[in-house]
Structure 1
């Protein structure tokens, strides 16, 4: 399926966000590649354009509320210049941070940072861009399989992901009158550079986590990205307020 609308992906400079930006571009979307480090975003844009796609970089730190508004204005200006008359049809809230520590080691600063990026950030990104989303736009928020199953030292991170799932369901009801679909993808263990690249680089960890999945391995970033691309396609136009776990069947 070929799409031509504009897609904005946060946290797209690396990992799942990078893979998602590329997957959407491969399906014909024009992609705004948003990342805290604009150099990372530019590198992904170069990859997309080298493959024949269209993309623009955007500096965006979702933990910075004023920065979200500045990034929105910058994105709209760039769209008006390069793709005039266009509106944003897909928004993927992928940017996230992990806090993995036992309860006795969690600090208030770490707690606040986790919720600022994983929950507050997506909320205010949606709020900022909402007037500029097309009727029938699609929003995907990235959660985690850890919102369903228990794992040591993940309480705060898991709580933030449970919160984004609840937020997604509520907003799906609120924004449905505009035909806007909001769903959540919950990845399982995936070989990215998240949390220092442990699942990508540590062979023993990959093997151990892989044995906890029905399919016997950890996932690859492209497998999550393809699920996001499927979720925003017209094939799933009657699906909203849902959570789909893309985890290889971890801890069923």
Structure 2
């Protein structure tokens, strides 16, 4: 196979942190395949922004919460890689897609827990397993956790517990996939101004001020604070980094 650009596959790339990861990777010279759930127009706009960097961009629809779709998604991904990028493999997988049900522990419902479990643990676990044979040696996986695994904020017990499971899974993946020279790391963003939870961190001034006051660098995070770290992890500069949790929170709750 002739030398070609590295390729990254990112779940949940049409907005927020995922979009910044997509564009940071594209600016680093990677071709991008990303998934979106239902925001097709936003996804098409992101493809245009990828192409503006000179890289190829492909958007594929996927509901990460439904693992019965992963077989079909894998086939679609291979077909797209072959038709548009002249390969059937890729180099980096970023498990980013997510959402949050805010619920204090005593009020958490099984339905809320299961919906988050499907997106934050079951989905990324089995999607990674399904796509593993397509990841090139010397590639990598980046999982996305949360600062909430290190410090406690009421209302996020289930979300944080599931992210904690992903952090443990990351170490096991790094150990088991190391023999294929696949590196696995996990990033843990702090509070970020996105539209997650209806844009609460971004739009609720009191919450924004309170979170900023608990942060060493004096503000809450922006989506643009995250993508560059993922781009670094998906580069040769990070070739000797695996099984690491990298918190990106500006020094939250130190």
Verify same fold: TM over 0.5.
yes
Normalising by structure 2, report the TM-score. 0.95
Alpha-carbon shift at residue 205 of structure 1 (Å): 1.5
1:94 paired with 2:96, answer yes
Corresponding residue for residue 137 of structure 2: 135
Equivalents in 2 of 1:201, 1:47: separation in Å?
25
Match of 2:74 among 72, 75, 88: 72
Alpha-carbon shift at residue 105 of structure 1 (Å): 1.5
Corresponding residue for residue 232 of structure 2: 230
Q: How does 1:1-252 map to 2 (within 5 A)?
A: 4-37=5-38, 39=40, 40-85=42-87, 87-252=89-254
Alpha-carbon shift at residue 41 of structure 1 (Å): 2.2
Q: Unpaired segments of 5 or more residues in structure 1?
A: none
Residues 38, 58 of structure 1: 8 Å contact kept: no
Equivalents in 2 of 1:74, 1:46: separation in Å?
21
Equivalents in 1 of 2:209, 2:153: separation in Å?
16
Alpha-carbon shift at residue 86 of structure 1 (Å): 5.2
Equivalents in 2 of 1:237, 1:69: separation in Å?
30
Residues 33, 44 of structure 1: 8 Å contact kept: no
Where 1:216 maps in the other structure, the secondary structure is coil
Equivalents in 2 of 1:209, 1:240: separation in Å?
30
Residues 192, 200 of structure 1: 8 Å contact kept: yes
Question: Matched residue pairs, number?
Answer: 250
Residues 138, 180 of structure 1: 8 Å contact kept: yes
Q: Unpaired segments of 5 or more residues in structure 2?
A: none
Where 1:153 maps in the other structure, the secondary structure is coil
Alpha-carbon shift at residue 52 of structure 1 (Å): 2.7
Normalising by structure 1, report the TM-score. 0.96
Alpha-carbon shift at residue 90 of structure 1 (Å): 0.7
Task: Please report the RMSD computed on the Cα atoms of aligned residues, expressed in angstroms.
Answer: 1.3
